[in-house]
Structure formats: structure tokens, C-alpha cells
Structure 1
Amino acid sequence: MRTRGAPYGFLAPALVLFAAFLAAPVVYAGYLSLRRVKVSGLGLGAGARSEVWAGLGNYTRSLTDPEFVPSVLRVGAYGLVVVPVMLGLALVLALLLDAGRTRVGTFTRTAIFLPYAVPAVIASLLWGFLYLPRVSPIVDVLDRVGITAPDALSSGWVLYAVANIAVWGGTGFNMIVLYTALRAIPTDLFEAARIDGASDIQIALRIKIPIVGPSLIMTFLFSLIATLQVFAEPMTLRPLSNTISTTWTPLMKVYRDAFVRNDIYSAAATSVVIAVATFVISYGFLKLVGSRAFSQEN
């Protein structure tokens, strides 16, 4: 009996933390999304405001909000930029680190990974000042060589400015995941391929990349979830530019509704919509490609 209960004992701390800090807030948000405040009279005095059942009214208001769909489309465009660029760079760097002819020291590997260790708010502040023309050393250098730098925080470039921060911070983490998967591949496969006359590029394209397919799918899924939840970067850059609105992303809309308009019920409904959309997209993606990608591990 003690042996059977041992795994549950080891899992208990993680399960308690999961229930307290993830499951319970999600359930509470779902509860709030079905409630609203009813104001009686002038809304003054005890009992003038009461919480009542709202049904799906908050969800209707959230989905029909004229600012909700543009924020979703904006995040979609942001993801089309961030995910391919970030994973492409991570894969190339991982392949270079794993290549036998490429001598990359510990310092280089650490330098590639280091941006991931910088909190998103700090990274956004650093890049924000690099984007500002009056204080950016990059703009000064380009001006001296006769190149006019674009305004990174203008309406036409702000999407790429925010995406650049995410790519800079996330490439190192994905590179480590892919590099670890590459190091687990038996070297006998590479030696046999070289005997058959395969070049390093052919080995990378025909052996390494197909084998690390599950790791690529995992990093893609993590990147997709992070894209749907983008918040810190545009929120930090917003005081530096008037091109980023309070509803630039769906999560920024949640923040505005909850802490600016003090409408936690509508914010809860939008949060539930984002959570359900994230689950559906992630589950659908895994069902679409998971069976093929992970079949080699069976």
C-alpha cells in the first residue's frame, strides 16, 4: 500500500499548487463571467449594488465588442511574424551548434540563451528606448552613415517592433530545446550518412530535422500559446507611443475592462473566451500533426 501511494505523495505538492493557483482562478473567472452587478436606485447606500445572474450576457458583450475582433486579428498578424521567424532562427542556431565543423564555445551558447533570462518588461523597456529616435544610439549611427531609420513605434512598424522583442527573447529558449533533441540523436546515423556521401546540409535536412520533429511541434505549440497571451511587450511600450491602444491585444482589453473600467465580469468573460480559444487551437493542432510527428516514437 505504501508503494502504491508513493507516486501520489510526490505529485501532491504540484497538484495542490496547480489547484490553488491555476484551476481555482479559472473556475472563479468562469463564475464571474456569468454574473453582473445590479444597481438599485441611485446606487448609493447598503444593498444598492448586488451581484445577480447574467447568463451569457457578458460573453455576448465581449464577442460583439467592436474592439475585440481587431485585437484578435492584430495578434494573428503578430503570430505570423513571430512564430516562423523565432523557430526558424532557433532551428538554424541549434543546427550550427550541433554541427561538427562549427566550433561554438560556452560563451556563445550562453549569449544566445541569455535574452530569455531577461524579464519581458525589462526587455521591452530596453528595446523601447532603442526605438525612440531621440535617445536611440542605433538611429544616431544610421544617421551618420546617411541612412534614415524608420520610426519603429509608428503605426506601420509597431507590430514588427513588438514582434522583434518576442523573437529576441524567445529564440534562445527554443534553441536550447532543439539543441538538446539534436544531441540525443545517435551519431551512428551521421557516420553512416557521411559514408554514403551525404553533406552536412543533407544530413541536417534529411536526418536531423525529421528526427527532431516532435521537439519542433512542442516549441511551436509553446510559441503559439505565448502569442495568444501576448501582453507585457505592448503594455510596456504603450506609454512610449500613441499607436498602441488599450485594446491592442485581447489580454490588454481584459486588463482595461477589469482595472480601468472596473468591469471584472466582462473581463472574466473575455478571459474565458481566450482560454477556450487557446485550448481549442492547441488541441486541434496536436490532433492535426501529433499522430504523424510522434509516430516515430512508438
Structure 2
Amino acid sequence: MKIHRAYRYELDPNTEQRILLAKHAGAARFAYNWGLARWIEIYEKEGRTTNAIELHRELNRLKKTDFPWMYEVSKWAPQEALRDLEKAFQNFFRGRKTGRKVGHPKFRRKHDRRDSFRLDNSSGTIRLLLDGLDPRHPGKARHIVLPRIGAVRLKEKPIRRKKGGVVRAHLPQGRILHATVSREADRWFVSLTVEEEIPDPPPPKGPAAGIDAGLKSFTTLADETGAIRKTDAPRPLRRALKRLRRLQRKLSRRGVRDEEKGRLIERTKNYEKTRLEIARLHRRIRNIRLDFLHKLTTELV
């Protein structure tokens, strides 16, 4: 059977590549916001909806005259952002038909979400360099090639070490479909979506069990014998959440604010310093949760 599997690596870009990565994320955000504004305008004036293909054609026509800076980034960054916009509207309209509460697509603000963009690999330009023998990138090992950005060094070798010294390669075993590059605080990551062929899973064995997610206990498990086992959330998570609340209160006191409306009108250096500290803590909380869930599901299986 065929599956889509994700491979995530941390990047170690140089200064020039960091600027290019930020430009790609900015171009994706701009294309999404521009497409959303045009979608609303077309609907209000013509009473119809549009799609990602039509918007991308119009955006391409405007590049030379209105947005020449977009030639500095890969064409895939804005194109994939417009596809995300179309999917957001499809979910919105589908939710209205089925009665589900799905919000209308919103404009993306720079400081309200993490920087990210997606690159399609239909042309086969995205690839991992591991042996340094690629003729187009001689001597480049432990790198990934991204369109318009070039060969970006990986933070670590794509391997995983298990207990007992056993080494397992963490490498794609199929066709790379696309790459999603994202920034968490001051670190950049790339996630590769790969189409792989795997054997069909065996039929389930063992007794059935029921799992309930609660507030006091993270999970409560009961098997066929009536035995009950409770699992609590990890202590480091509780400490990190407590520290997050303290930092968020500290951030609310930073910066220059409008006395009447209370809105932030100037981001000071201390404000940005605290904001980066919060972003790093969010990344740590996310890693604690993922590690806990991975260990819990592995134990249950």
C-alpha cells in the first residue's frame, strides 16, 4: 500500500539563506493576503467565486509591473499559498453546507503566525545530498537542495541512534512530493512529504481497550479484564505552562501602547526580546507534548 510519510529536519542556513527563507515566507504570506482580497472583491462585484489557478495567472501578469520583487523567490511559494487559500474556502463552504462551524478565511499578519512556505517537487529539484558526489553541488554532504535557495546545510545527520548503539537511517524511501519550510522562534525546519510503498498492516491482535481523555488525568484506560490505568501529563509541561503565563504577562507590559485604546503602537527591543523568549518556550512545550504522546501511543500499541 502507498502512504504519505513526513521527514522533518532542522536546517543550518547561512546569513544569505536566512534572508532568502524569510523572503519566501513573506512572499507566501503576501500572495495569500492578495488572493484573499481579490477573492472577496470578485465575489462582491461579480457574484462568483474564483480559484487558485485563476488567481495565480493574474498574479503572474502583475509581477513585472507591480511586484517585481517576487522574481527573487521560487514560483512555488506564492502558488502553494494560493492553493492553501482555495482549500480554506472549500472547507468554509463545505462547513456551511454540513452545519459545521468553520470560520471564514482571514488575512495573515506577520506577527500572528509562524513563518512558513511550501515548495512543490513536481520538477524533482528538491533532493537530499548525503555523499558529496552530486556534480552540481560537489563536496556538499548533509545538505538539502531547495529551489531558488540552493543547498542548505542540515543541522544533524539524518540518522537516529537507538539504545545499544543501533543506528537507523532517517531518510526518505520514496518520491518527495513537496517540502514545507517553517521557522520556530529563531530556528528553521524543513518537512518533506514523501510517497512510500509499505506492506499491508497485519490484522490487530490482543484484547480491546477503551481510552478516555480527561481533565484531571490525561488518559484513563480500561481493558476487557476491568483493569483501569490512569496517565498524568508530564511535570515539565506543567512547569513550562506556568512559565509561559508569567512571560505573557511580562510581554503585555512591554512596548509602547496607546493610552486610550491600549493597542501596541511600537515594538521596543525588550518587547522583541520577550516575544522571542515566548516563541522558544512555545517550541519547548510543543516538543514536550509530542514526546509524551509518542511514548504513550508506542506503549499502548
TM normalised by structure 1 equals 0.23
Larger radius of gyration between Structure 1 and Structure 2 = 1
Structure with higher strand content: 2
Structure with higher helix content: 1
Structure having greater relative contact order (Cα 8 Å, sep ≥ 6): 1
